[in-house]
Amino acid sequence: MSSLRVGVAGAAGRVGRAICDGVDAADDLELAGRADPALDTPLASILGDCDVVVDFTRPDTALENALACVRAGVHVVIGTTGFDPAPLAERQGDGNAFLAPNFAIGAVLMMKFAVEASKYMQSAEIIELHRDGKLDKPSGTAKHTAELMEGDVPIHSVRLPGLVAHQEVILGDVGQTLTIRHDSMDRTSFVPGVLLAVRRVADQGAPLVVGLDNLLFPSA
């Protein structure tokens, strides 16, 4: 069985480098190309060599990158947030797009637990904490969590050096609180979820699927 050929857009970034290492270490995947302005390698130059592209770039380039992929018949797995992916929901070519606000499996579990708890607790608020260079605020993970939970859930954003990706959901009711927290201390936490999506994106059926929960809990 031939390996899936995987390209990484944003390959020079911290997450991009972790994804490249993860692809390299997987027996069933082949790192077919690294695209990044810092490497003087545009996405277009690697598309012909790829079955799937993983995008961890910027909100202002992610949609353009994804459309270029699907129109070229290349599937795309997107970890960039802060842009409207709606055009990808319409069939643009032979490629599929998979987008997740967070690829850490623990973060997906945190969201699932928070959604369930919100059915029983009176109110909740979210605190999301990320590195000072993160461009979107609030994070895609926090917005997705709030959308899934019961009621109106305010979000508080913190941007500080030294952080990676952290989220706390605090739920309150009479005489009690419940806190659900997830911490990514290293960007390698995203790699297993990204590789899962890379292996599944070709068979997802729809032009666009959003959320790693769709792969982890398909019957939920």
Residue ranges covered by each domain of the chain:
4-99+188-216, 105-185
Judged against a pLDDT cut of 70, whether residue 220 lies above it is answered with no
Closest CA to 70 of 220, 204, 166: 204
Is 144 catalytic? The answer is no
Residue from 112, 119, 134, 144 carrying the catalytic annotation: 134
Cβ atoms of 197 and 103 within 8 Å: the answer is yes
Q: What one-character DSSP code corresponds to residue 46?
A: T
- Report residue 29: phi and psi, to 5°: -125, 150
Q: Give the chain's end-to-end CA distance (angstroms, integer).
A: 31
Distance of CA 147 to the CA centre of its chain: 16
Provide the pLDDT for residue 124: 98
Provide the pLDDT for residue 133: 87
- CATH number, span 4-99+188-216: 3.40.50.720
**pLDDT band at 134, cuts 50/70/90?**
confident
Provide the pLDDT for residue 136: 86
- Rounded Cα gap, residues 114 and 64, in angstroms: 33
Instruction: Tell me the HSE value of 82 on the side-chain side, using a 13 A CA sphere.
Output: 14
pLDDT (tens digit, 9 = 90+) per residue, 64-123?
999 999 999 999 999 998 899 999 999 999 999 999 989 999 999 999 999 999 999 999
Cβ atoms of 100 and 131 within 8 Å: the answer is no
Provide the pLDDT for residue 106: 96
Bridge partners, residue 75, by sequence: 52
Provide the pLDDT for residue 70: 98
* Kind and range of the H or E run holding 199: helix 191-200
Is 156 catalytic? The answer is no
Higher-pLDDT residue of 133 and 109 is 109
Cα-Cα-Cα-Cα torsion 188, 130, 134, 15, nearest 10 degrees, comes to 0
**pLDDT band at 3, cuts 50/70/90?**
very high
- Rounded Cα gap, residues 103 and 2, in angstroms: 25
Residue from 75, 130, 144, 166 carrying the catalytic annotation: 130
Cβ atoms of 74 and 95 within 8 Å: the answer is yes
Beta strands in the chain (DSSP E): 4-9, 29-35, 52-55, 75-78, 97-99, 123-130, 155-159, 165-173, 176-184, 208-210
Q: Which CATH class is domain 105-185?
A: alpha beta
- Rounded Cα gap, residues 67 and 53, in angstroms: 11
Tokens 């031939």: give the residue. 2
pLDDT (tens digit, 9 = 90+) per residue, 146-177?
999 999 999 999 999 999 999 999 999 999 99
Cis before 218? omega within 30? no
Q: Whole-number mean pLDDT of the chain? A: 95
- % of the chain at pLDDT higher than 90: 92
Q: What one-character DSSP code corresponds to residue 103?
A: -
pTM for the full model? 0.87
Contacts of 14 (CB under 8 A, 6+ apart): 187
Q: What one-character DSSP code corresponds to residue 38?
A: G
